[in-house]
Amino acid sequence: MSGVWGNKLKISVFGESHSAAIGVVVDGVPAGLKINFDEIKVQMARRAPNGGEFSTPRTEADDVEILCGVMDGVAEGTPICAVIRNTNVKSKDYSQLRDVMRPSHSDYGYKVKYDGFNDYRGGGASSGRLTAPLVFAGAIARQLLKNKGIQVVSHILSVADVKDRRFGTEITAEEISSLKSAVLPLLDKSKEDDIRKVIASARADGDSVGGRIECAVTGLKAGLGDPLFDSIESVLSSLLFSVPAVKGVEFGNGFGITEMRGSEANDSWHYGEDGVLRTLTNNNGGVLGGITTGMPVVFNVAIKPTASIFKEQDTVNVATGENVKLSLKGRHDPCIVVRALPVIEAAAALAVYQFVGE
Amino acid sequence: MSGVWGNKLKISVFGESHSAAIGVVVDGVPAGLKINFDEIKVQMARRAPNGGEFSTPRTEADDVEILCGVMDGVAEGTPICAVIRNTNVKSKDYSQLRDVMRPSHSDYGYKVKYDGFNDYRGGGASSGRLTAPLVFAGAIARQLLKNKGIQVVSHILSVADVKDRRFGTEITAEEISSLKSAVLPLLDKSKEDDIRKVIASARADGDSVGGRIECAVTGLKAGLGDPLFDSIESVLSSLLFSVPAVKGVEFGNGFGITEMRGSEANDSWHYGEDGVLRTLTNNNGGVLGGITTGMPVVFNVAIKPTASIFKEQDTVNVATGENVKLSLKGRHDPCIVVRALPVIEAAAALAVYQFVGE
Amino acid sequence: MSGVWGNKLKISVFGESHSAAIGVVVDGVPAGLKINFDEIKVQMARRAPNGGEFSTPRTEADDVEILCGVMDGVAEGTPICAVIRNTNVKSKDYSQLRDVMRPSHSDYGYKVKYDGFNDYRGGGASSGRLTAPLVFAGAIARQLLKNKGIQVVSHILSVADVKDRRFGTEITAEEISSLKSAVLPLLDKSKEDDIRKVIASARADGDSVGGRIECAVTGLKAGLGDPLFDSIESVLSSLLFSVPAVKGVEFGNGFGITEMRGSEANDSWHYGEDGVLRTLTNNNGGVLGGITTGMPVVFNVAIKPTASIFKEQDTVNVATGENVKLSLKGRHDPCIVVRALPVIEAAAALAVYQFVGE
Amino acid sequence: MSGVWGNKLKISVFGESHSAAIGVVVDGVPAGLKINFDEIKVQMARRAPNGGEFSTPRTEADDVEILCGVMDGVAEGTPICAVIRNTNVKSKDYSQLRDVMRPSHSDYGYKVKYDGFNDYRGGGASSGRLTAPLVFAGAIARQLLKNKGIQVVSHILSVADVKDRRFGTEITAEEISSLKSAVLPLLDKSKEDDIRKVIASARADGDSVGGRIECAVTGLKAGLGDPLFDSIESVLSSLLFSVPAVKGVEFGNGFGITEMRGSEANDSWHYGEDGVLRTLTNNNGGVLGGITTGMPVVFNVAIKPTASIFKEQDTVNVATGENVKLSLKGRHDPCIVVRALPVIEAAAALAVYQFVGE
């Protein structure tokens, strides 16, 4: 059962890259929420391909039609269904790909799973395009969180081997504001040029690059989450790994913590001079035993290099049973890290709302 | 809602470190399964503290009483409830810890979440001891998987800065057999001594070390999993992050893939001379778009250094509102990576069974 | 969380009486199912208001647009989203009803639940119109069931005090065929005139009548269902009671069985001369201990008289806090029993598919 | 998946009639609830066989052992596991029943479902004994409801053809108190003798009788419940039909409403002289469109006559494939209606808590 997720907000995502439309039903939006459609558009636009330097030449409007659940701009409390038409689809590009399996795409697994009846065009239901409904739902979650003083913010932690620095123990309002207004959100802005270059270089070579996104959720009280199966990490990771390009998730120092000794890694509790309880470090990313500590919840994800590249690749034709060469054409992003930022934030917002929603 | 997980096998875990007992209800075991209790004991023993060089001086039998669901050693098809008594509990060790928050433990989050009514002794419901019921349930899942030709195997990928090599693209029967019979499962056995030393050194210093566990699931057909929210990675990670010490999960090359170009990272499909379809590399860890490729599903997790250390630490007393020093006493593992191996395998078995079970 | 139901087929229903559209996402339709859209239209037409003698003068096309999940008439295996536009909506009819609570409608409960933000026009999300998506989803379930030799059939058991006879212990192919082709499906066709009269009389008086629908599911093997919470009766009733007008559900003889002694009520097992195992009676409606017996699963539901009547009624204006008189205008069915037949069958099909689906 | 139910309180029931123990895990009890164990004992005792005039000669203590989740009599917030040992089991009574299917019991369906591996002794997992854990969990739910001013009360609506009157539109504190203290809870106490007689007569004949239980939940605010699939009626009925002997559920006037005209059946809203909004009748049982109206939620259930009778019955031996005669021995209730009262109340309490719990 692929498309239904959640609890406080329950979302049902539907659609494929080349179906008539894609969309989402969002169940559980509290009645009376004045929905900020401008903010939704901002988030959708961050994800949409815009033909810019980090993106595919496709431009898709991602215009959303609200079918129900909203009256005069206000949530009625009943399910909201949002539909995005697939307009800019060039099906002919994909006709050769019925039987030739693109490396690093889900083509083969889908073909087996769905006995060949799946819509193979453009990746079908595993297309990155399906993150648009997620961003829509996430944008609503963000508004609900904002009303509770909770913010979700992210930055590019790396692209290829160009690295930004990590969030510090505290995350300031200035940092949040600066990241939110940046085209390339970085803590260390001096890395902008290197990132542009590494992407441009991959594009020039018909190749692609991946990277990491670090995301923080601020304003969370201590005591959220559940032991065992509904730990903060479990719920967040289950949604983050739904984003097809994500191959790793770590909280706080993550894998880095495995090379520290306990005496270094343990986050000491401390009452500050202001009387506020904090930890002096945040190696655990704001979560202990599945429960928030009151520090920012910080995690980062690995985004693999775009699977679609123009370089010739070795692969197979499953109809003929032959090993073949494949040269992809069409429009593909050399790097999806930038467009993935709002997707990761949306996933984080939806996951966190599970713990603070009514 | 913390303790219920799953679908084909639904498990309900209960208990705390110092309650009368801990245990699990396993719902969904197919009627007629002849349960291999010896194999369950083997798995339980791998996890149990045994007073050996990698473990705490505690020795807990982890004897399991089956309350129902099994008749004459065969599953009836109805829920199986397994109970493990907590016998070796020294409550007085913990009396000082009602108000002093141990760093890197869940003490503070729990206290807030449960308004101070939680059983704080020994970590309560967030105790590593709660992984025993998980291993029990996982041992049943393993038997069900084995009957379908699916194996779960893991090795120590690192302890502190001592690193084993990673699984190769193919995983041989010899490797599996060798890892299953080893006390310290390593692909590169020459690292055994270094691992013993790094753990012994941490113990000697009253400190602790963490590490990584790499786990593979072999024998899985292509086409398992679901797009979006029930991706293989989503389901696996949600269960892996339920294990309290896990701070990171990556599939295949995980974070490493972010530094590769697409042309390197993409796993080329290839028909071998035997006519079998494989990928020539497995950077994606056997999962693409949430669906298995037919290659081994490979992932690894970050296990943080044991939070309980004997070195003096800075922390707070929340009753008095003071910053204090804390020196833990009692019995604690200097490194839980070895004992965590069967836990990670159990989580993997339960997660995978979700996709292949009846 | 109102709109998501199910397991093998998971449905997410959305929309309100006067929103832009209503619809449903159906997740879990097996890839490769050739969808019989003609049969879907037949089912939709049975439910749709048609301006006939049993129905409201409204005529709504209930035209369905498929947004995704179907390619060339065949299910892809991914979620199917079906949208039905609300075209024939006369919103002005409802403007007076913002504050005047219609008796026997959900107006007041909704107003409280949704803090007045719900769409009150035409009953909003509790409108009988929301049964259209249910019929759509049910029509797909019926096709899946038919491929397994399972049929769902129903008849009018009563309208007001006019009663049809009940299904016998066996249900013949002739009975099924005759009921499926009838406008007024009755086992005792001699009751047709009386039913027409009792409905016409209610209409003439500006009043309404209710009735009962008896439904049978044939072709089910013994051993389906689960003890306790997923009993056949639990799953069926949970869906049947989702239909707003249903006020009672009974299996087999239901309440009648309470006046029988055990020796009468118990259904004796018997091997027939054909060697087939049957029960000689079916007082338990084909379900014992939550599990099918192999006999037809038979249940009936109480449909209350249409809440909307033209007679003047006593009620309140919650804005002014006054007791007032209310005279409804507009288009209302004097009896919804006939139109409810395909809805009950759809619910039965969806519920039963839960136990036989892949 | 049989044994897990719920949301705010999630319960996992386990055990069979003749397993070592039965029990339940209750997840979601708010931390800090001082558990009234005396009240739990009262509820358990109402359900337990006591050898009295309405019951089987068996006397089972139903002593509950709490394994976890409670410290010093107070809920910790973590799952509570309660275990009841099966002590008074005479397995030899059942040995003949491996292959002879008791009419009106689940024997045959279970045998097919579980391939003959189920524990057939005493009905196994479909035994009425499994209602004991339900009563335990329900007793906790009742305490949580009581703290919110919500009461659950029931009475015998009929035994065989002896009928009590129904609840009126209002339910007084006196009625509640009187019903709670009665051995045979009746609104019309003059029916006590007739009920005793009709049960005694069935017992004398080696036969059994059934009946109806009417239950009311008072103190519920308007606006609880959800449209569609989580309607009050859906959630209540799904749990009520989990009780094996229940064959019908109706809300308010239920099937009776089908013989009323709308003008009669509709519950008029009215502001009383005290300014309180009520309906003048409660034919809809306090629920409209799945949502509470603020009136008492009233429903009744059909309890079938005890399936186990001493009279000789016709049935089959599925091992030999023969039609045979069966004469049951052992200890059986001639009527379970009285013992079912606390079970129905427990189910109601658990279902309602779903809508008012934190």
CA distances from B358 to A104, B77, B346, C10 (A): 29, 12, 19, 18
Give yes or no for residue A140 having a pLDDT over 80.
Answer: yes
Question: Can you read off the two tokens belonging to residue B316?
Answer: 């707070």
* Residues forming a β-bridge with D277: D271
Q: Chain C contact for A269, CB < 8 A? A: no
pLDDT at B111: 96
A224 chain-B contacts, CB cut-off 8 A? 109, 113
User: Looking at the partner chain, which of D259, D262, D293 has a beta carbon nearest the beta carbon of C208?
Assistant: D262
The H-or-E segment that residue D140 falls in is helix D131-146
Whether residues A208 and B261 touch (CB distance < 8 A) is answered with yes
Give the gap in angstroms from C-alpha A121 to the nearest C-alpha of chain C.
Answer: 11
Interface test with B, best of A108, A270, A335 (most B CBs within 10 A): A108
Q: What percent of chain C has pLDDT over 90?
A: 86
pLDDT at A61: 65
B271 chain-A contacts, CB cut-off 8 A? 316, 321-323
Nearest CA in chain D to B118: D76
| pLDDT digit string, tens, across residues C261-286 | 999 999 999 999 999 999 999 999 99
pLDDT at D113: 96
Torsion B108-B113-B119-B123 (CA) sign: negative
| pLDDT digit string, tens, across residues D270-292 | 999 999 999 999 999 999 999 99
pLDDT at A62: 77
Whether residues B117 and D31 touch (CB distance < 8 A) is answered with yes
CA distances from D182 to B174, D156, D168, D186, D196 (A): 72, 11, 19, 8, 14
Distance CA A298, CA A216 (A): 4
Percentages helix, strand, coil for chain C, rounded to the nearest 5? 35, 25, 40
Give yes or no for residue D2 having a pLDDT over 80.
Answer: no
Phi first, then psi, for residue B181 (nearest 5°) are -95, -5
Give yes or no for residue C111 having a pLDDT over 60.
Answer: yes
User: Looking at the partner chain, which of B68, B80, B118 has a beta carbon nearest the beta carbon of D77?
Assistant: B118
Nearest CA in chain C to A28: C1
Interface test with C, best of A4, A33, A66, A121 (most C CBs within 10 A): A4
Question: Can you read off the two tokens belonging to residue C144?
Answer: 């899946």
pLDDT at B122: 84
Whether residues B19 and D69 touch (CB distance < 8 A) is answered with yes
Question: Can you read off the two tokens belonging to residue D93?
Answer: 């009574």
B3 chain-D contacts, CB cut-off 8 A? 25, 27, 78-79
Give yes or no for residue D161 having a pLDDT over 70.
Answer: yes
| pLDDT digit string, tens, across residues D300-355 | 999 999 999 999 999 999 999 999 999 998 878 999 999 999 999 999 999 999 99
User: Looking at the partner chain, which of D19, D20, D114 has a beta carbon nearest the beta carbon of B31?
Assistant: D114
Q: What percent of chain C has pLDDT over 70?
A: 95
Whether residues A239 and B251 touch (CB distance < 8 A) is answered with no
| pLDDT digit string, tens, across residues C167-212 | 999 999 999 999 999 999 999 999 999 999 999 999 999 999 999 9
The H-or-E segment that residue B139 falls in is helix B131-146
pLDDT at A52: 67
pLDDT at A276: 95
User: Looking at the partner chain, which of A3, A68, A118 has a beta carbon nearest the beta carbon of C15?
Assistant: A68
The H-or-E segment that residue C81 falls in is strand C80-85
User: Looking at the partner chain, which of C230, C279, C291 has a beta carbon nearest the beta carbon of D110?
Assistant: C291
Distance CA D293, CA C109 (A): 5
Whether residues C14 and A79 touch (CB distance < 8 A) is answered with yes
pLDDT band at C1, cuts 50/70/90?
Answer: low
Instruction: State whether residue D234 is helix, strand or coil.
Output: helix
Task: Tell me the average pLDDT across C10-20.
Answer: 95
Lowest mean pLDDT among A98-102, A270-274, B78-82, C122-126: C122-126
User: Looking at the partner chain, which of B110, B231, B309 has a beta carbon nearest the beta carbon of A262?
Assistant: B309
Interface of B with A in 158-177 (CB under 8 A): 158, 160-161
b/e string for A179-189 if b means 16 or more Cβ within 10 A? beeeebbbbee
User: Domain residues for C334?
Assistant: 4-356
| pLDDT digit string, tens, across residues B124-137 | 888 999 999 999 99
Whether residues C81 and A15 touch (CB distance < 8 A) is answered with yes
B16 chain-D contacts, CB cut-off 8 A? 68-69, 76, 78
Give yes or no for residue D93 having a pLDDT over 70.
Answer: no
Give the gap in angstroms from C-alpha C185 to the nearest C-alpha of chain A.
Answer: 35
Give pTM, 2 decimals.
0.96
DSSP A67-126: EESEETTEE-SSPEEEEEE--S--GGGGGGGGTBPPTTSSHHHHHHHTTT-S--GGGGGG
Interface test with C, best of A10, A19, A35, A89 (most C CBs within 10 A): A19
User: Looking at the partner chain, which of A223, A279, A305 has a beta carbon nearest the beta carbon of B261?
Assistant: A305
A2 chain-C contacts, CB cut-off 8 A? 27, 78-79
Give yes or no for residue A7 having a pLDDT over 80.
Answer: yes
pLDDT at A358: 86
Give the gap in angstroms from C-alpha B89 to the nearest C-alpha of chain D.
Answer: 14
| pLDDT digit string, tens, across residues B318-345 | 999 999 999 998 878 999 999 999 999 9
User: Looking at the partner chain, which of B23, B68, B114 has a beta carbon nearest the beta carbon of D67?
Assistant: B23
Task: Tell me the average pLDDT across D130-153.
Answer: 97
Torsion D86-D90-D91-D93 (CA) sign: negative
Torsion D128-D132-D135-D137 (CA) sign: negative
Whether residues D313 and C268 touch (CB distance < 8 A) is answered with yes
pLDDT band at D298, cuts 50/70/90?
Answer: very high
Please choose, from the candidates A6, A1, A3, A5, the residue with its C-alpha nearest in 3D space to the C-alpha of residue A355: A6
Spell out where chain D has E strands: 4-6, 10-14, 21-27, 64-68, 70-71, 74-75, 80-85, 151-159, 162-163, 211-218, 246-251, 269-271, 277-279, 287-288, 291-292, 297-303, 313-317, 322-326
Interface of B with A in 270-299 (CB under 8 A): 270-271, 275, 277, 279-280, 284-285, 288-294
D293 chain-C contacts, CB cut-off 8 A? 108-109
Q: Which amino acid does the sequence have at A253?
A: N
Number of domains in chain C: 1
Q: Chain A contact for B244, CB < 8 A? A: yes
Task: Tell me the average pLDDT across D184-196.
Answer: 97
Residue found by looking up tokens 């590169």 in the block: B188
| pLDDT digit string, tens, across residues A46-97 | 998 876 666 666 656 678 999 999 999 999 999 999 999 998 666 566 677 8
Give yes or no for residue A2 having a pLDDT over 60.
Answer: yes
| ipTM value for the complex | 0.96
Give yes or no for residue D1 having a pLDDT over 60.
Answer: no
Torsion D128-D133-D134-D136 (CA) sign: positive
Give the gap in angstroms from C-alpha D144 to the nearest C-alpha of chain B.
Answer: 16
pLDDT band at B87, cuts 50/70/90?
Answer: confident
Give yes or no for residue D91 having a pLDDT over 80.
Answer: no
D78 chain-B contacts, CB cut-off 8 A? 2-3, 14, 16, 114, 118-119, 124-125
Whether residues C4 and A10 touch (CB distance < 8 A) is answered with yes
Q: Which chains touch A (3 or more CB pairs under 8 A)?
A: B, C
* Residues forming a β-bridge with B239: none
Q: Which chains touch D (3 or more CB pairs under 8 A)?
A: B, C
Whether residues A15 and C83 touch (CB distance < 8 A) is answered with no
pLDDT band at C118, cuts 50/70/90?
Answer: very high
pLDDT at D248: 98
Q: Average model confidence (pLDDT) for chain B?
A: 94
Distance CA C9, CA C82 (A): 14
Whether residues C115 and A23 touch (CB distance < 8 A) is answered with no
Nearest CA in chain D to C310: D263
pLDDT band at C125, cuts 50/70/90?
Answer: confident
User: Looking at the partner chain, which of D7, D20, D67 has a beta carbon nearest the beta carbon of B68?
Assistant: D20
pLDDT band at B179, cuts 50/70/90?
Answer: very high
Contacts by D274-282, CB closer than 8 A, 24 or more apart: D275/C321, D277/C108, D277/C316, D277/C318, D278/D169, D279/C103, D279/D169, D280/C314, D280/D169, D281/D169, D282/D169, D282/D252
Distance CA C175, CA C194 (A): 21
Nearest CA in chain B to A130: B228
Interface of D with B in 91-130 (CB under 8 A): 113-115, 117-119, 124-125
Q: Looking at residue A329, which CATH number applies to its domain? A: 3.60.150.10
Whether the Cβ atoms of residue C213 and residue C303 lie closer than 8 Å to each other = yes
Give the gap in angstroms from C-alpha C174 to the nearest C-alpha of chain A.
Answer: 37
Give yes or no for residue C31 having a pLDDT over 70.
Answer: yes
Nearest CA in chain A to B354: A1
pLDDT at C120: 86
